[in-house]
Structure 1
């Protein structure tokens, strides 16, 4: 059996134990959280150590509760709701949408099994303590067929059909009662729908009329579409947002109503959309119609360090002790001196003094302020100023008050790591420091120092018995574009950009070599539209220096094209990434995720070297500061689709493809830029970097360079389902491999168009996820189904030989979902 743990950094497997997190002082709540993390990790470690027993226990539980009768606790003369079906005759209806209107659903199933009902049935009927009580809590009691709810379902389904325009349709339910089980069939006979013949718009408010009628071209109501009430509601919402963005602060969709004139013979509907005028009382208490007003922003007040607790306890007295500064159309109000740069608020604010109210601009302000990661509470309020109302011009005035409550500016975290690299035990630690506004401009700065030491098994390796690793890095995220040529303020307000600067250093002292890696990067990230994000690294430098390596190690890599990956080298990269994600965390619906990444390296340095006739080394490579630089192009695409079945089940699909092409000054990609397969986030039936390239059969888990390639193709499928407590289950299938482009030093590792598809590895398995809300631990058991390292014709393991626990099973431990 192989064991692979989620890789955090440079092949060291980590379990993080957070000691404390301080933010000015040590908080009791933080202590509780950290204790919970430690408890969770201890539980998870025990689960990992007894993985065989867990798997066996799950199998036994499945066998036990599936053997139990599902009607064990169904009372006499009652029936377990076994299944229900919906049969639709004619009509274009979405069955998944219709199911929401069925009032009574049977017990949940996982792969056809009533897992939760089975757990409930394992309990003892008259016992309310111990194991039985626990089984009843995590299980699900039997759903008893209810005739009243079945009739209600029929009524709800009829109402749904009416709302969609299918009036006078017929819905019937048929119930089959057998062996204490009830099965319901809902039969829907759909009539011809009513269609919209004409749509007219009417508005008697002369103030509102122009803004309203000019927008009717954008209506979502289309002639000859079904007379669908949901579409009418969407139109009301659309008009409300539109008018609120045009300054009508008090307008809402209750002022919008429809008149429908229908014919049962032609099934056509003439539709009129009306805008009501608001009403007001005269001094004589008569109710008269008035006009909708546009509202101008009178003043903008920003409380930059608002304390809700003090404001509640002190009442109006809290506001009398505040300082006010007026800058660029904003009144900045704070208690004492606030070091926050006023320009940061100005850049994130879209509610401007003297401008018309706009709901869209209010939402943009929320979004931009939240993206600063500086405020834990953002509250934007508006107050109407009665004394400034101008009824003759139909204008109103409102003040805007933004109450911003900050996070603690500084925090630090200490972590201890237990490490295990192929059985070699070690210990490591991290110190992390964060400042949310280092220079007063909401510059989020993260500083990290790490170190680790690991004892090597003396029986396997002679000489030095320890490996050490030391490093540190700093990342500064600035909430604006810092450009050498222009300020790009308009772009900054529209797309919420960030400038990101980072630098780091890592030193590794291993048995076979000693290596130091230095890196720095400078780039930008910004929002595109609602679902798009962009990232550009104008410059990323990585320098690798290998001052020492054993002769055995050198002899090994000298015989392969990987030699250039372990030579001293410099990597200069320009990178662009695009991310599309249409997930809506407020709604349980399907969504897509796409990441496109492209990078080029060494072209500028190569051009300069050629123009200046720079000196080359003995291998003909140009050098910078005595170190050869890498030159390559790399492109990869990651596409994911998440099919949300219900609140407890999801199917995740993933396809990944990537290629890296070395050229010019490089024979191979830098080692850190090469693709690999296997491990907790890849093909889980293999250890990380233990698969490929191609049909290479060089053996598993050498202590020399891992198995990598220039091309990677991978596909993953995972069915995820909630079980009980914090436990979630998963079933998965992974397929893919890596290949080399220009060298066949790894026998069978070269990418060949007519052969590569025969070299796909396929693995399957099951996993458990422990969702502790603040972190998700993952345990996956992968099994090889098809191994490309075996001779052609014998690659499918099933049917050719029996599975070996030692060679064909791999346990992977990770944090978070694999994709």
Structure 2
């Protein structure tokens, strides 16, 4: 403690003492005795006055380097008058190192910087010296400019040099063996950020590697720096791009789940296939066509095997490895200060443009069906700090519903309204996702944060209001005179944490929450955008959309023999999950888990008492727990989870309690069995 205060925080006169109080805790029995020795330490600290920075001086025998360092002095994190702080000094070392590496000093490292101080004036302040050493046996640090840049566009090991065609484009030298370029030279030129005769920048080298590596056409990217033989201040580059052997690739998958509800069983199976072209138009555009078909079967002693649901979807996506901002939204955001200039510059250079078009059809047999058509235009960008931004300014979703079992919903107008045909729109802003991944640190901690903000119909809403104010009418715009425009604000947060204790045991937790708010002439949010809980990746003791909303008890909860399709959704969602994972034997892993959560409506629903959110929402949290077995095949996992209801979201009318008794938990037998592929989170 004393060393920390003196040498890390500038309390050079600090004195620290401590008092230790030792305790023995234990008990004895016929089986033996148990003793535990506890120690309580009390620190007595006389910190004294904290020293400050009197002055800051840079020193080096390399006068040109020193001149450059002095030119960026104003950006220093260490200022006269600041308190002495070791972390602040380390930040300054990192700043100097990065600035030098980004201004031609590519071989510079932080270990060339030494920090010393002089407190001889006895004024409780210190003169700080940053001494920049030179590399032995040289007397200066070499400052490099970029020389010749050669790009081998279809490189492979052992490629004969005499078979290559050479061409100079945009100041770069291109080499190819094929009759024509696999990828347009203009795209490759725009993907190289260091320029000839300019000082070499570390950031430009890293951006170049990231950009070229993101081009799906190439399997390997090598960026080789070669000192010029005639000029020691010039660094030449050879960029070797090795393409994938095949332009088209195919991928298929099979997914499934199994769950129980009393004596009833539900089994779902989904088959998917994907066809990908890595270089559709010669600009490393990635085109993908994905199709998926699935069904869900139910079984009970009364009905036998029956088909409960079917689903079919087709999705087209074109990914262009450049920023195509034909709406000018990026420039507008930069000029208005919504985003910083540096962020816009990086976004413009490294963002990928995505165009998608698709359709899906879901048929819940004898209940309802929905056909959805979607189209969108947007961008995908991952920053150097591993933060991903997915922004779609332009997007449309047309959802067409058909209710087959009107008797089930006719008593509830709010649910019926959520099943209206609707068109979701975004002409300037549709949605924005922010995804941050923190890689595993030395202590085994890692986490993932996903934020999604979605806005639909706001441009149409304000345009409609403006039109009505000019015309003096109260006309409500509709698409094709019969389809409502979806008007809502939706936000969802998903945070995941993982702690790896060793190679065989780990702890994982997730918090998921969301809210959707309709506005304008929309009384309820669209059914397809509401929230639900339950199922193999949520509250595993319940089936999909079984719990909630709030403390409402669905009459179908009393049905035990028939496979039931639930439609319990809400405007607000709170969910928490945690599980301890461990290895049992060979490929067999185990887990113990706890799930909690529910959904609520924003408005009171007289047909569903207790469904709306209140200040006592925590009394309506459903809690489940259980255990699981996982067959870990490395590239995928087959998961068997056995969930038990521990706490109901509604109060039992007879017990006056939400908690299940131990007897009731035992009566659940093997619990709610959920079979799925891969981890739930």
Instruction: Give the TM-score, by structure 2 length.
Output: 0.77
Q: Which residue of 2 aligns with 1:431?
A: 273
Are 2:399 and 1:544 aligned?
A: yes
468 and 227 in structure 1: CA distance in 2 versus 1, 3 angstrom threshold: closer
What does 1:695-774 align with in structure 2 at a 5 Å threshold?
695-698=551-554, 699-700=556-557, 703-720=564-581, 725-726=586-587, 729-744=590-605, 746-774=607-635
Q: Which among 239, 247, 251 is matched to residue 409 of structure 1?
A: 247
Are 2:248 and 1:400 aligned?
A: no
What does 1:774-785 align with in structure 2 at a 5 Å threshold?
774-785=635-646
Q: Which among 69, 83, 93 is matched to residue 212 of structure 1?
A: 69
Which structure carries more strand by proportion?
Answer: 2
What does 1:278-677 align with in structure 2 at a 5 Å threshold?
278=135, 290-307=139-156, 309-311=157-159, 318-336=160-178, 337-389=180-232, 396-407=233-244, 408-416=246-254, 423=265, 429-452=271-294, 468-485=310-327, 491=345, 494=348, 496-512=350-366, 513-527=368-382, 530-546=385-401, 550=404, 553-560=405-412, 561-573=414-426, 574-581=429-436, 583-585=438-440, 588=443, 590=445, 593-606=448-461, 623-625=478-480, 627-638=482-493, 640=495, 642=497, 644=499, 646-648=501-503, 651-677=507-533
Q: Give, in angstroms, the shift of residue 467 of structure 1.
A: 5.7
1:53-83 deviations in whole A, cap 9, x for unaligned?
A: xxxxxxxxxxxxxxxxxxxxxxxxxxxxxxx
Mind listing any 5+ residue stretches in structure 2 that lack a counterpart? 25-31, 332-343, 469-474
Q: Give, in angstroms, the shift of residue 226 of structure 1.
A: 7.6
**Greater displacement, 191-200 / 808-817:** 191-200
Q: Which among 60, 76, 83 is matched to residue 203 of structure 1?
A: 60
The separation in 2 between residues aligned to 1:454 and 1:635, in whole angstroms, is 29
Q: Give, in angstroms, the shift of residue 297 of structure 1.
A: 1.0
Q: Which residue of 2 aligns with 1:125?
A: none
1:596-644 deviations in whole A, cap 9, x for unaligned?
A: 322232344455667778xxxxxx9753225422433233242536364
The separation in 1 between residues aligned to 2:500 and 2:38, in whole angstroms, is 21
The separation in 2 between residues aligned to 1:671 and 1:478, in whole angstroms, is 33
The separation in 2 between residues aligned to 1:795 and 1:459, in whole angstroms, is 32
The separation in 2 between residues aligned to 1:608 and 1:196, in whole angstroms, is 59
What secondary structure is seen at the aligned counterpart in 1 of 2:222? strand
Q: Give, in angstroms, the shift of residue 746 of structure 1.
A: 4.8
The separation in 1 between residues aligned to 2:602 and 2:212, in whole angstroms, is 47
The answer to whether the 8 Å contact 1:165/1:227 transfers is no
**Greater displacement, 477-486 / 355-364:** 477-486
The answer to whether the 8 Å contact 2:418/2:526 transfers is yes
Mind listing any 5+ residue stretches in structure 1 that lack a counterpart? 1-88, 94-159, 281-288, 312-317, 390-395, 614-619
Calculate the aligned-residue CA RMSD, in Å. 4.6
Instruction: Give the TM-score, by structure 1 length.
Output: 0.66
The separation in 2 between residues aligned to 1:688 and 1:502, in whole angstroms, is 28
350 and 722 in structure 1: CA distance in 2 versus 1, 3 angstrom threshold: farther
459 and 799 in structure 1: CA distance in 2 versus 1, 3 angstrom threshold: closer
The answer to whether the 8 Å contact 1:692/1:749 transfers is no
651 and 367 in structure 1: CA distance in 2 versus 1, 3 angstrom threshold: same
The answer to whether the 8 Å contact 1:631/1:664 transfers is no
- Report which structure shows greater RCO (CA 8 Å, sep ≥6): 1
What does 1:122-141 align with in structure 2 at a 5 Å threshold?
none
Q: Give, in angstroms, the shift of residue 707 of structure 1.
A: 0.7
689 and 491 in structure 1: CA distance in 2 versus 1, 3 angstrom threshold: same
Q: Give, in angstroms, the shift of residue 403 of structure 1.
A: 1.3
The separation in 2 between residues aligned to 1:466 and 1:191, in whole angstroms, is 71
Q: Give, in angstroms, the shift of residue 351 of structure 1.
A: 1.2
What secondary structure is seen at the aligned counterpart in 1 of 2:602? coil
The separation in 2 between residues aligned to 1:657 and 1:788, in whole angstroms, is 17
Which structure carries more helix by proportion?
Answer: 1
The separation in 2 between residues aligned to 1:759 and 1:718, in whole angstroms, is 22
The answer to whether the 8 Å contact 1:579/1:593 transfers is no
Q: Give, in angstroms, the shift of residue 647 of structure 1.
A: 4.2
The answer to whether the 8 Å contact 1:495/1:528 transfers is no
The separation in 2 between residues aligned to 1:186 and 1:231, in whole angstroms, is 33
Aligned length in residues: 630
What secondary structure is seen at the aligned counterpart in 2 of 1:666? coil
814 and 183 in structure 1: CA distance in 2 versus 1, 3 angstrom threshold: farther
